[in-house]
């Protein structure tokens, strides 16, 4: 019996995108197509919260239990199915530390790149993160964990894969990733998404902000305030939202859009000049955020492509194939 | 009977610095010297928290009650004593809205600048804030409330008062104030202090930060990361603290110093070029914060003066004298 109900495919892989606050799991068929999908608030924080100071074995046991809660029935029904997971599950506070590959790093992973961890019915394979090493006496380096799998998926989805590109992945920690010859050459993280949440949820601006409909004009005003040459920097321009509300020039419900504009404009102003190929920018993520980034980039003459597909599951499948966990023979979803 | 126990002075003024989260009150003698001082967590937030949507009369009654709890015995013992308050108590959510004076604004206030509000035994006078109006189609303006009184006190404490100066007042919202001919010409607010608190109390960096002894070297490294020409902006450089901790190059207990360095350096890099007189900067506030600002300014060749005196009570007395609430005849504390 096939879980998909289809007579032409059979289950081929259990995959997980297991992050800080949530966990997503897919049962893929032997062509990489999702047969079943689950989403749960079973991220690292929910697991480590009560295990501060626990020994590694105790922590691993807690992860194994959570893994089994999500995926156990798939593995009971299909014994021996390989499992591949990416994200913070491979961090120091995760199930097992999966290390980092150092840039420049190929997007074609091999079997020895993966870290394995045992569970009650076999092993799970963990995808390593990527790192830019710190230069002693120079700039701090960078790290990512989970986004490297998203990058593999995005590259697979794009035509002209050999082209040198800058991928922008908006999120809590937005990643600007430089890709060339199917390698990640370098990348930079911005905390703009996290600061947006902090300012509005816990900050003084959040006290007067009110929920409301999206206000494109407020976003554009924020972008203008956060953009060179007139900007006085995000730290100053954020306060502008408060002044404009006091003056009756900005609705309290439009404060989030203004703040979003200031932060994205500040980030683009700093990072666009640092990328190797500003002429080929691809923004990948949730639709609304992608549109905001594309608008800010357009204002400085960059015509970015937008990919709103959730590319992580596609990346997990590609990694499973390149590492030999799955076979490419029946692949049906890639171009 | 004099509350001071001194036979040569008598009470002359009740003053309050009444802000968002706390309230300080002083009973001053007729020379402006503190006779008694009180500090309480009776800021605006504690009063308005349970009065969302209350009518103005109800709100005013709540403020009057809190005022009386703090200062009532002083006024019962010395009936008719004038009262002067500055800070957010004069804001829209305060006891009564005290308005703003528009820059350029003289530091010699007159009686008609003050707003009065009745209490059970007389009236209290409220100091207006200052505003830089927004330019339509241009930069957002700015506001302050409470710091204008601090500026009056600082100018009174300095020699050579006629000199053109930039006053930097570090705090939750740091103010850069341009003063010339005993007038506030303009000013700019940075949210660096608020962001510092948000990032460490509620942010992802706060999860790994640990309390520790001050780490001057970590502060300097943060300053270096936040300073031109190498900086990629505060939004990016904040993430550097996380990378350095992961690499074992920064102790978790040193993260707050690193973050402080990044934010102050970013603020100075943006605002120092905008001030009219970068050669005469005075930093005024808490000792540790002043030292941090002075260090960052020194690194870019600005030898700032530091004033760690709490200048607000001095400013309140000066305003009481210039507005006729108190008489300068017996002044003993100014130069």
For the stretch A259-315, pLDDT in tens is 999 999 999 999 999 998 888 999 999 999 999 999 999 999 999 999 998 899 999
Asked if residue A194 has pLDDT above 50, the reply is: yes
The rounded Cα A88 to chain-centroid distance in angstroms is: 11
* Residue A84 CA: distances (Å) to CA of A114, A115, A121: 9, 10, 14
- The partner residue sitting opposite B232, judged by closest CB among A141, A240, A274, is A274
Report pLDDT for B310. 84
C-alpha span between A191 and B282 (Å, rounded): 32
Report pLDDT for A52. 75
Reported as half-sphere exposure (CB side, CA atoms, 13 A), residue A212 has a value of 16
Report pLDDT for B3. 45
User: What is the pLDDT averaged over residues A12-40?
Assistant: 96
Helix B216-226 and helix B255-271: axis angle, to 10°?
A: 40
> Starting from the edge strand earliest in sequence, which strands make up the sheet with B100-102, in order?
B100-102, B129-132, B142-144
- Mean pLDDT per 10-residue interval, chain B, length 335 residues: 55 96 96 96 89 85 97 96 97 95 97 97 97 92 98 92 92 96 96 97 88 92 96 97 96 96 98 92 95 97 93 97 87 46
Closest B-chain CA to A197: B203
Report pLDDT for B331. 55
Report pLDDT for B4. 44
Q: Is there a contact between A118 and A148 (Cβ–Cβ < 8 Å)?
A: no
Query: What is the rounded average pLDDT for all residues in chain A?
Result: 93
pLDDT-derived band of residue A62, with 50, 70 and 90 as boundaries? very high
Closest A-chain CA to B263: A235
- The partner residue sitting opposite B235, judged by closest CB among A202, A239, A267, is A267
Return the structure tokens found at A81: 């199915």
Nearest residue to B14 (alpha-carbon basis) of B316, B220, B269, B285 = B316
C-alpha span between A81 and A131 (Å, rounded): 30
Q: Give per-residue pLDDT as tens, A220-241.
A: 999 999 999 999 999 999 999 9
Q: Is there a contact between A207 and A194 (Cβ–Cβ < 8 Å)?
A: no
Burial of A236 (0-12, 13-18, 19+ CB in 10 A): buried
Specify the DSSP element, H or E, that contains A192.
helix A192-201
CB atoms within 10 A of CB A106: 13
**Contact A233/B269, CB-based, under 8 Å?**
yes
C-alpha span between B147 and B300 (Å, rounded): 26
Q: Indicate left, alpha or beta for A310 from its phi (over 0: left) and psi (-120 to 50: alpha).
A: beta
User: What is the pLDDT averaged over residues A112-119?
Assistant: 97
Report pLDDT for B330. 56
Q: Is there a contact between B122 and B75 (Cβ–Cβ < 8 Å)?
A: yes
Per cent of chain A over pLDDT 70 is: 96
C-alpha span between B64 and B17 (Å, rounded): 15
Residues with Cβ within 8 Å of residue A302, at least 6 apart in sequence: A272, A278, A279, A281
Shortest distance between the Cα of B263 and any Cα of chain A, in A, equals: 8
A65-69, A71-75, B160-164, B236-240: least confident range:
B160-164
Can the peptide bond before residue B104 be classed as cis, meaning omega within 30 degrees of 0? yes
Return the structure tokens found at B123: 């009236």
Report pLDDT for A207. 86
Nearest residue to A166 (alpha-carbon basis) of A292, A280, A294 = A280
C-alpha span between A216 and A258 (Å, rounded): 9
Shortest distance between the Cα of B275 and any Cα of chain A, in A, equals: 12
Residue with tokens 């990919």: A307
Q: Is there a contact between B89 and B44 (Cβ–Cβ < 8 Å)?
A: yes
**Contact A143/B242, CB-based, under 8 Å?**
yes
Q: Give per-residue pLDDT as tens, A127-185.
A: 999 999 999 888 899 999 999 999 999 999 998 877 899 999 999 999 999 999 999 99
Inter-chain contacts counted by CB atoms under 8 A, chains A and B: 141
Residues with Cβ within 8 Å of residue B166, at least 6 apart in sequence: B176, B177, B178, B179, B275, B276, B277, B278, B280, B281, B282
**Contact B234/A239, CB-based, under 8 Å?**
no
C-alpha span between B123 and B67 (Å, rounded): 11
Shortest distance between the Cα of B189 and any Cα of chain A, in A, equals: 6
Q: Is there a contact between B38 and B70 (Cβ–Cβ < 8 Å)?
A: yes
Shortest distance between the Cα of B16 and any Cα of chain A, in A, equals: 23
Residue by residue, DSSP assigns A73-126 as HHHHHSTT--EEEESGGGSTTSSS---EEESSEESS--GGG-EEEEETTEEEEE
Report pLDDT for B335. 37
pLDDT-derived band of residue A211, with 50, 70 and 90 as boundaries? confident
C-alpha span between B165 and B302 (Å, rounded): 13
pLDDT-derived band of residue A213, with 50, 70 and 90 as boundaries? confident
Return the structure tokens found at A27: 């049962």
C-alpha span between A189 and A180 (Å, rounded): 18
Closest A-chain CA to B193: A235
Contacts of A266 in chain B (CB under 8 A): 233, 235
Q: Is there a contact between A85 and A125 (Cβ–Cβ < 8 Å)?
A: yes
Specify the DSSP element, H or E, that contains A17.
strand A11-18
C-alpha span between A176 and A168 (Å, rounded): 5
* Residue A266 CA: distances (Å) to CA of A271, B195, B229, B232, B235: 9, 15, 16, 10, 8
Query: What value, to the nearest 5°, has the Cα angle with vertex B101 and ends B98 and B107?
Result: 110
């Amino acid at each position: 019996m096939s879980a998909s109900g289809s007579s032409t495919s059979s289950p081929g892989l259990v995959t997980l995108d297991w992050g800080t606050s949530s966990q997503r799991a897919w049962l893929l068929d032997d062509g990489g197509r999702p047969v079943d999908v689950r989403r749960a608030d079973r991220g690292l924080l929910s697991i480590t919260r009560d295990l501060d100071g626990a020994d590694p074995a105790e922590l691993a046991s807690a992860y194994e239990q959570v893994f089994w809660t999500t995926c156990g029935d798939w593995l009971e029904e299909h014994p021996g199915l390989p499992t591949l997971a990416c994200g913070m599950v491979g961090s120091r506070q995760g199930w097992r530390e999966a290390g980092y590959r150092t840039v420049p790093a190929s997007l074609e992973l091999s079997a020895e790149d993966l870290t394995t961890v045992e569970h009650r019915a076999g092993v799970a394979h963990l995808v390593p993160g990527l790192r830019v090493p710190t230069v002693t006496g120079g700039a701090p380096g960078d790290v990512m964990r989970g986004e490297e799998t998203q990058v593999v998926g995005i590259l697979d989805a794009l035509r002209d894969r050999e082209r040198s590109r800058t991928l922008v992945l908006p999120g809590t920690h937005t990643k600007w990733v430089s890709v060339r010859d199917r390698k990640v050459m370098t990348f930079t993280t911005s905390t703009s998404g996290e600061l947006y949440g902090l300012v509005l949820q816990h900050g003084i601006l959040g006290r007067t902000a009110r929920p409301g409909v999206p206000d494109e004009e407020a976003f554009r005003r924020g972008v203008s305030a956060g953009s060179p040459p007139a900007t006085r920097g995000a730290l100053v321009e954020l306060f502008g939202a408060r002044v404009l509300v006091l003056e009756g020039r900005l609705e309290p419900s439009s404060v989030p859009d203004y703040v979003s504009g200031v932060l994205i404009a500040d980030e683009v102003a700093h990072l666009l000049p640092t990328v190797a190929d500003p002429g080929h920018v691809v923004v990948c993520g949730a639709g609304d955020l992608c549109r905001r980034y594309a608008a800010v980039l357009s204002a400085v003459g960059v015509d970015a492509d937008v990919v709103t597909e959730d590319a992580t599951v596609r990346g997990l499948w590609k990694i499973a194939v390149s590492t030999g966990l799955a076979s490419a023979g029946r692949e049906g979803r890639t171009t």
